[in-house]
Chains A and B, each alone.
Chain A
């Protein structure tokens, strides 16, 4: 919302500069975005009168010569605008004036020297583009500087209201707030009107969604352009002037916050009925759209059909046109929820609906209508013929305020007199008084004040948030311990050279489908189709990240993500890892690509001392012979594997990409440690090599070795296939640790082990 500083001064005397006023408004809770000083655009501009206009004097047929009286001299200027005639007063920019950063210089058109230029609203920053020059419709002395005319020398304040303060969407609203704070009276006379003295207009209210409805007809009016002052006032607030009746409506809305509507009375059939739309009823709205109404849409109708969508937009049929001469002016207040629902359903947010949704003052309706009719008669002529009005009966809500609670809530002892004075200045009336507690009612324009804490905020606002002395409360110790599981895993992975990424939780349907058999949860209103379902795997995101980074020129991509996956059965925390591209260049190993064990090693560390078991049951996007699912406590919690070559080919990746994805919810969030007595006897270490079938998993051999009671651990440390070993066999060497108790009998134990492995796996011990 934009308001004019001068316009505000019509309502209340403001002693602050526009900048200081803006700061005060922000401190009071209405955030100011910008203060624009219009007087910066009008230096050196002044009023001049056109003495003579000469057309057709130039090769360029659209150029005209104007002889003007600038108040000090008579000069010639050349213009292409055609809206001026002899006797008009215009705005003249003297040579040397800067307009939008460019200097106005004397210029020659054919043989004529143009001294300065004539200015349009565009040049002073009020319009995007202008059709003609500014022509005054009121007399000023030639040579008067625009700086001395308040209409031009003004500041514009752009601010945002919070959704609870619809009452601040007008000059009156802001003025009222400032008047309360600075303890000043509102200056402007609020016009009133006795509608009872006119012939009654046939008005029928058939819905509870109408809070007030005032209307009056004005006849014998003339539709025309608005006077300059009205056009400029609207432009300053960001509204494009159209013609007088519409401009008056908008002016009233900016002035008092009351949305207005005018009907062409000749297009209305007899009466006004405010009612809910019939099923399937249609209306063509002012924007030219044919709209079907639903049964809970509140409409303004005549005897036949609806002529406006209440609080949202008028209808095309009854709209004001150039030859309208009888109008019905309407000022009404409709139920905020009703308007909001209709505007949402029609996807038609308007200035009016924005205000109605946030609450309009029902007691202001009659005054706004009075002001509109006043203006209409002044600007368009005509006389009032008929009128009608309706007010819903209401009882103001009582709010009981405990003075002790004010102190308790704000944390500062605030004088009772200050509380009373503040509330009074804000129009909040005290209707009952007791020692510790008084009862108040809020003014009709403050829909946001309904309970005591609302009044406490008013007191705090006017007391000043900045004056509240900060205190530190005692926080009772809590026994809840935070799980650091994710944090520790992230630290570990970063230490192992992985970079943490965060991807969006939404993905496109297709990539989700190729990485998970789960049916994903769909978003009903996605921003775009690529982000339309909730992810059921972290891998598609990580794979995209790999491709992006390889395209950016990265050689090695080691990344991980800890994030949420969304299943129809619920959400789960997952860890996803990916290593791809070149193995990091180094001088100590020949390794040039990642493989399965790069990630398996890390997963084992994360799980330790719990052991990871693996099984071959893996998703289809993994390399079938280079992948494993991760088993923890007999449950599959994820998988590790190289991506299937088909996937790599599709993305033109030539080196293996290893990924893992595990469900972190299966991992304990903290470990319970308890000490076991240290076995002080030295254990016995023996290296044993054996030859087994190539297909036998090393883990199976380890398990078999550990079946011998005296064996404590067996760690594989050499793997060999090739010369001197049959083609279908492999040689594996283990470092086996035996219990000290078999020290004297170790040969016997080794023999036992050899027999056992022979029997279990057909393995031969190499001696």
Chain B
């Protein structure tokens, strides 16, 4: 009888074994040619009973189509293989490093600075800046720190010219004075920048970075100060306990020192927090009416808060750095630890 399935299986085996165009041609001739398998099957139709001829003929035709399809597919396969072989000649060692310029890095102070500025920007504070060399008037006097104020001992000052009252600013508060003198209230600014104090040891640097903030409007209160600074500290340190306690700054009244629960020991007490469980993070308070008046605002109408935070201290806590001098001696073994762009 006519063995359609047998022929189909043989054909598939033959076609798929062809590795190049030439052998495929030969196989094709053997299957579809005049003396090929299909032709042989048509010849056998004569032996088939009359009533089955039509059905058998249809089957042989289907088989022929199937084989043509197989050959077409195999031709495509052969072309692909040849192309791949050609490409593999130009193979690369994909494990070699890519072309690059080496790993640069942003300074850790820059990173913390940006992080904090962004938090305050998001809350609606704008950035203000000013010179690092200031006058005694802007750095002290207008901030309610007169010439003979004992608070001057808290900020040991570098003088450029003590007669003319030129000095290196000890805080960025003069920026607040400048901003208030330029703008009518309401005002909400932060003043990031470099400040100088005549002090040098493992935790004090004669030059360091600060961000100060100021918000003045009609009804800004101590409760608002707590709200803004708590939100800020939660963003920087995560949700941990924040403590406000009374303190003193000549330019604020009431004043508050702000602590967060120690990020090392979580309040149990350790060396970093001097066994108190708290880390002193920033100074703040309600702007003293004298300061408000000194810039020409009406202290009966306008009130608000100010705060200041040292960047180095935050960076030291966040990155576990134990010597402030590392920030300023440009050791690449230190700086390169802060490389990478996804901060």
Asked if residues B244 and A482 are in contact (CB atoms below 8 Å), the reply is no
* Distance in angstroms between the alpha carbons of A640 and B151 in the assembled complex: 46
Asked if residues B246 and A460 are in contact (CB atoms below 8 Å), the reply is yes
Asked if residues B221 and A588 are in contact (CB atoms below 8 Å), the reply is no
A732 within 8 A of B: no
Q: Which of A410, A478, A499, A588 contacts B332 (CB 8 A)?
A: A499
Asked if residues B222 and A411 are in contact (CB atoms below 8 Å), the reply is yes
* Distance in angstroms between the alpha carbons of A457 and B158 in the assembled complex: 32
Asked if residues A491 and B106 are in contact (CB atoms below 8 Å), the reply is yes
Chain B contacts for A570, CB-based, 8 A: 131
Mark A347-373 against chain B: 1 for CB-CB distance below 8 A, else 0. Answer: 000000000011000000000000000
Asked if residues B223 and A505 are in contact (CB atoms below 8 Å), the reply is no
Asked if residues A557 and B332 are in contact (CB atoms below 8 Å), the reply is yes
**The stretch of A216-224, A383-391, A522-530, A689-697 that contacts the partner chain:** A522-530
B320 within 8 A of A: no
Asked if residues B335 and A571 are in contact (CB atoms below 8 Å), the reply is no
Asked if residues A412 and B223 are in contact (CB atoms below 8 Å), the reply is yes
Contacting A at CB under 8 A, from B115-145, are 117, 121, 123-128, 131-133
The minimal Cβ–Cβ distance linking A550 to chain B, given in whole angstroms, is: 10
Chain B contacts for A358, CB-based, 8 A: 150
Asked if residues B148 and A501 are in contact (CB atoms below 8 Å), the reply is no
A201 within 8 A of B: no
Beyond A408-B219, A473-B224, A473-B227, whether A340 also contacts B150 by CB under 8 A is yes
Q: Which of B131, B243, B332 contacts A466 (CB 8 A)?
A: B243
The minimal Cβ–Cβ distance linking A160 to chain B, given in whole angstroms, is: 10
* Distance in angstroms between the alpha carbons of A525 and B197 in the assembled complex: 11
B86 within 8 A of A: no
Beyond A499-B339, A500-B110, A523-B158, whether A472 also contacts B101 by CB under 8 A is no
Asked if residues B226 and A470 are in contact (CB atoms below 8 Å), the reply is yes
Count of inter-chain pairs, beta carbons less than 8 A: 236
* Distance in angstroms between the alpha carbons of A164 and B339 in the assembled complex: 46
Q: Which of A33, A336, A524 contacts B161 (CB 8 A)?
A: A524
* Distance in angstroms between the alpha carbons of A522 and B244 in the assembled complex: 40
Contacting A at CB under 8 A, from B316-343, are 327-333, 335-336, 339, 341
Contacting B at CB under 8 A, from A462-491, are 465-466, 468-473, 475-478, 480, 482, 487, 490-491
Mark B212-253 against chain A: 1 for CB-CB distance below 8 A, else 0. Answer: 000101011111101110110000000000011111100001
Q: Which of A163, A505, A548 contacts B207 (CB 8 A)?
A: A505
Asked if residues A495 and B341 are in contact (CB atoms below 8 Å), the reply is yes
Chain A contacts for B97, CB-based, 8 A: 586-587
Counting chain A residues whose Cβ lies within 8 A of the other chain, the interface size class is 35 or more
B105 within 8 A of A: yes
A54 within 8 A of B: no
The minimal Cβ–Cβ distance linking B179 to chain A, given in whole angstroms, is: 10
Asked if residues A503 and B221 are in contact (CB atoms below 8 Å), the reply is no
Contacting B at CB under 8 A, from A617-652, are none
The minimal Cβ–Cβ distance linking A221 to chain B, given in whole angstroms, is: 36
B210 within 8 A of A: no
* Distance in angstroms between the alpha carbons of A476 and B188 in the assembled complex: 8
B154 within 8 A of A: yes
A226 within 8 A of B: no
A494 within 8 A of B: yes
Asked if residues A457 and B124 are in contact (CB atoms below 8 Å), the reply is no
B19 within 8 A of A: no
B186 within 8 A of A: yes
* Distance in angstroms between the alpha carbons of A490 and B343 in the assembled complex: 14
Beyond A27-B245, A475-B123, whether A497 also contacts B333 by CB under 8 A is no
B256 within 8 A of A: yes
A243 within 8 A of B: no
B75 within 8 A of A: no
Chain A contacts for B94, CB-based, 8 A: none
Beyond A502-B328, A554-B332, A584-B102, whether A465 also contacts B244 by CB under 8 A is yes
Q: Which of B131, B188, B330 contacts A478 (CB 8 A)?
A: B188
The minimal Cβ–Cβ distance linking B158 to chain A, given in whole angstroms, is: 5
Asked if residues A465 and B110 are in contact (CB atoms below 8 Å), the reply is no
* Distance in angstroms between the alpha carbons of A494 and B206 in the assembled complex: 27
Mark A535-556 against chain B: 1 for CB-CB distance below 8 A, else 0. Answer: 0000001001100110010101
Contacting A at CB under 8 A, from B73-101, are 96-97, 99-101
Beyond A162-B247, A494-B105, A523-B168, whether A500 also contacts B335 by CB under 8 A is yes
Most A CB contacts (10 A, CB to CB) among B131, B154, B224, B245 go to B245
Mark A143-182 against chain B: 1 for CB-CB distance below 8 A, else 0. Answer: 0000000000000000000111100000000000000000
Known pairs A470-B223, A549-B332; list 8 more (Cβ under 8 Å). A28-B246, A29-B245, A163-B154, A408-B221, A411-B221, A465-B244, A496-B101, A526-B158
List the 5 closest A-B pairs by CB distance, nearest first.
A411-B223, A411-B221, A29-B246, A162-B248, A475-B124
Interface residues in chain B, defined as those with a beta carbon under 8 Å from any beta carbon in chain A = 96-97, 99-107, 109-110, 114, 117, 121, 123-128, 131-133, 148-151, 153-154, 158-162, 168, 186, 188, 194, 196, 198, 200, 206-207, 215, 217, 219-224, 226-228, 230-231, 243-248, 253-257, 274, 286, 288-289, 303, 327-333, 335-336, 339, 341
Jot down 15 A-B pairs with beta carbons below 8 A, ordered by A. Answer: A163-B154, A340-B148, A340-B150, A411-B226, A453-B289, A457-B255, A472-B227, A473-B215, A487-B114, A494-B104, A525-B158, A527-B206, A544-B330, A571-B131, A584-B101
Interface residues in chain A, defined as those with a beta carbon under 8 Å from any beta carbon in chain B = 26-29, 31, 33, 162-165, 336-337, 340-341, 357-358, 408-412, 448, 451, 453-454, 456-457, 460-461, 465-466, 468-473, 475-478, 480, 482, 487, 490-491, 493-506, 521-527, 531, 534, 541, 544-545, 548-549, 552, 554, 556-559, 563-564, 566, 570-571, 584, 586-588
